[in-house]
Amino acid sequence: MNARDDEHLILFPPKRGEALARLEAFVPNAGRRYADARNRDPGPGLRDNVSMLSPYIRHRVLTEQEVLAAVLRQHSPQVAEKFIQEVFWRTYWKGWLQMRPQVWQAFLRERDADRELLERSPGRRAALACAEEGRTGIDGFDDWARELVQTGYLHNHARMWFASIWIFTLRLPWSLGADFFLRHLLDADPASNTLGWRWVAGIQTPGKTYLAQPDNIEKFTGGRYRPKGLASQAQPIRREAPPHPSPLRPAAALPSRRPAILLLHGDDFAAHELVPPGTDVRAIVVAANGHPDHPWPFGRRASRFVASLAADTANRLTRDGKTKVHIIDVLQADALRRHCGHNQVRTIVTTEAPVGPLADGLQRLTRELAGEGIDVVTLRRRWDDLAWPHATHGFFRFRRQIPELISYNGLGTPEPLSE
C-alpha cells in the first residue's frame, strides 16, 4: 500500500474528536468570511474558506443540529445565512428524494444500462477511462479527477465544473459521472449526488443546466486554471418532468418497555441519541457496511473511511457506557439474529436511512427477520421529520421554512433570512 492510499484518512481523520475540533476551528469563519469566500477553490491544503465537515455530517458523526448550534452560538442567522443554507441543501435533497424514491431506482437502471453500452463501444470505454484517470488534457479537470480519487473530496464549485465538462464537453453519460462520484467522494449520498448531477444535466429542473465557463473557473481558482475547448452551450440531455411527490410515511414510535438491540449504520453513527432515557437497550451493534444484496459503500477508500468511523463509534460507546457494543462487517440478518438470541430480545431499533442502498438494505433486513418474529423499528430524526415534508418543490420555496426549522430544532427564535 503506498502513502496515497491513506491520503483521504489524513485529510479527514475518521474520528468524532477530530470532527469536533474541525468544527470548533471553523465556527469563527462561518459568518461573513464564509459568505464572501465559499465559492473560491484555492486548491488542496488551502481550503480554510469552507468547513471541510461534509464527510462527518454525511455519516452523522456530527449532526446538522449540533453543527448549526455551534455556529449560531457565535453568529446571528442573518450573518451565517449562507452556511446555514448550505447545511439545509443536503437536508432538502434528501427530503426531495424521500418523496420520489423512483428517481433513485431510475438512476440505478440508467447507470447499469450505460455500463452495458460501454462494453460494446471500445472508444467510449477508453474515453471514460481517460476522464476517470485525469488524462483528458483539459486544464483543471484532470487535476480534479486525480484529487477526487486520491482524497475522496472536491470543492463544491469544482464538482459543478467537473460535472458540466463531463456531460457537455466530453459527452459522457451523466449517470456514469454520478457513479464516479459515488465511488470516491467520502461525503457522497444518493440524494445530493444524484440530484446534483441531474441538475447540471438539465433533468432535475426542466430546461435548466449548468455550463462550466473558462472565465468563471479562472476567477474562482485564483487563476490556476483556464481550460480551453469547453462546450459553449449546455442543452438539457433530455426533457423530463420531475415526478410528483408522494406522502412521507408516518414516523415510527419506539415500543415502550420492550428490550431491544440498537443498530447503528453508516447513514447515522449518532443514532444512540434518539433512544429515550430508560430504554432497555441490551446491546449496541455497529454495522460497517451495507446489506449483501445492496452493497455500500461503493468504493474502496469510502469503505475504509466508513469502517474506521464505525470502529471509532464503537470505541466511544464502549468507553461511555455499560452496554455491550459489537461491530458487524455487513448488515446481515444472521449476525443480528445471533445478537438478538444472545440478549434475549425480539426488537432491533435503528434510525431511518434516507432513500439509497442502506434504506434498501434495511427494508430487506426487516423482511428477513420478520418471519422469525424479530421487529426492526426505524426511528426518524426530528430534524428530518420537520424538514422533509417541505421539499415538495424547489429549494427557494423550501428556504422560506429555514427560520422556523431552526426554531423548532431548539436553535433560536425565528428570524427571517434574506430573500
CATH (domain of 265): 3.40.50.620
Out of 170, 198, 220, a domain closes at 220
Q: State the average pLDDT over residues 42-59.
A: 95
Where are any strands of DSSP class E within 265-416? 281-287, 324-328, 347-351, 375-379
Beta sheet of 324-328, edge-to-edge order: 324-328, 281-287, 260-264, 347-351, 375-379
Q: What is the pLDDT of residue 126?
A: 97
Q: Which of 359, 357, 352, 266 is nearest to 306 (CA)?
A: 266
Position 246 in a domain: no
Residue 313 burial by Cβ neighbours in a 10 Å radius (0-12, 13-18, 19+): buried
User: Are both 19 and 94 inside the same structural domain?
Assistant: yes
Q: What is the pLDDT of residue 179?
A: 98
Domain count, the chain: 3
Q: What is the pLDDT of residue 257?
A: 80
Backbone angles phi, psi at 221, to 5 degrees: -105, 15
CATH (domain of 144): 1.10.579.10
In one-letter notation, the amino acid at residue 45 is G
User: Are both 107 and 186 inside the same structural domain?
Assistant: yes
User: Are both 151 and 70 inside the same structural domain?
Assistant: no
Q: Per the structure block, which three cell numbers stand in for 219?
A: 476567477
Position 245 in a domain: no
User: Are both 127 and 201 inside the same structural domain?
Assistant: yes
- Dmax (CA) for the chain in angstroms is 66
Q: Per the structure block, which three cell numbers stand in for 211?
A: 455550463
**How big is the CA angle at 412 (ends 408 and 415), to the nearest 5 degrees?**
95
Q: What is the pLDDT of residue 1?
A: 47
State the alpha helices, DSSP H only, in 152-265: 156-164, 174-184, 190-201, 214-220
* pLDDT of residue 3 exceeding 80: no
Position 234 in a domain: no
Q: What is the pLDDT of residue 4?
A: 65
Q: Residue 142: how many CB atoms within 10 A of its CB?
A: 18
Position 413 in a domain: no
- What b/e readout covers 261-288, taking b as 16+ CB neighbours within 10 angstroms? bbbbbbbbbbbbebbeeebebbbbbbbb
User: Are both 180 and 195 inside the same structural domain?
Assistant: yes
User: Are both 200 and 295 inside the same structural domain?
Assistant: no
User: Are both 64 and 170 inside the same structural domain?
Assistant: no
**How big is the CA angle at 22 (ends 355 and 85), to the nearest 5 degrees?**
50
Q: Per the structure block, which three cell numbers stand in for 207?
A: 430546461
Q: What is the pLDDT of residue 251?
A: 87
What is the overall mean pLDDT for the chain?
Answer: 94
SS3 state of residue 261 = strand
User: Are both 106 and 204 inside the same structural domain?
Assistant: yes
* Per-residue pLDDT tens digits for 272-317: 998 888 889 999 999 999 999 999 999 999 999 999 999 999 999 9
* pLDDT of residue 413 exceeding 80: no
Residue 253 contacts residue 336 (beta carbons within 8 Å): no
User: Are both 269 and 375 inside the same structural domain?
Assistant: yes
State how far the alpha carbon of 106 is from the alpha carbons of 102, 201, 388, in Å.
6, 15, 21
* Per-residue pLDDT tens digits for 199-258: 999 999 988 999 999 999 999 999 999 999 999 999 999 998 889 999 999 988 887 788
**Calpha distance 97→223 (Å, rounded):** 37
Q: What is the pLDDT of residue 419?
A: 44
CATH (domain of 83): 1.25.40
Residue 82 contacts residue 35 (beta carbons within 8 Å): yes
* Per-residue pLDDT tens digits for 360-387: 999 999 999 999 999 999 999 999 999 9
User: Are both 61 and 91 inside the same structural domain?
Assistant: yes
Write 106-115 long-range contacts (CB < 8 A, 24+): 107/175, 107/178, 107/194, 107/198, 110/173, 110/175, 111/175, 111/176, 111/178, 111/179, 114/173, 114/175, 114/176, 115/176
Pick the more confident residue, 8 or 32: 32
Position 370 in a domain: yes
Radius of gyration of the chain (CA): 22
Q: What is the pLDDT of residue 72?
A: 97
Position 146 in a domain: yes
SS3 state of residue 376 = strand
Residue 86 sits in which domain range? Answer: 3-98+387-408
Position 243 in a domain: no
Q: Per the structure block, which three cell numbers stand in for 59?
A: 455519516
Backbone angles phi, psi at 370, to 5 degrees: -60, -35
* Per-residue pLDDT tens digits for 109-142: 999 999 999 989 999 999 999 999 999 999 999 9
User: Are both 26 and 131 inside the same structural domain?
Assistant: no
Q: What is the pLDDT of residue 148?
A: 97
Position 233 in a domain: no
State how far the alpha carbon of 314 is from the alpha carbons of 19, 206, 250, 297, in Å.
16, 45, 30, 19
Q: What is the pLDDT of residue 253?
A: 85
Q: What is the pTM of this model?
A: 0.95
User: Are both 280 and 197 inside the same structural domain?
Assistant: no
User: For strand 324-328 and strand 347-351, is the pairing parallel, antiparallel, or unpaired?
Assistant: unpaired
Q: What is the pLDDT of residue 27?
A: 97
Q: What is the pLDDT of residue 255?
A: 77
On the CB side of 378, CA atoms within 13 Å amount to 22
On the CB side of 37, CA atoms within 13 Å amount to 15
* pLDDT of residue 416 exceeding 90: no
Q: What is the pLDDT of residue 256?
A: 73
Out of 220, 250, 275, a domain closes at 220
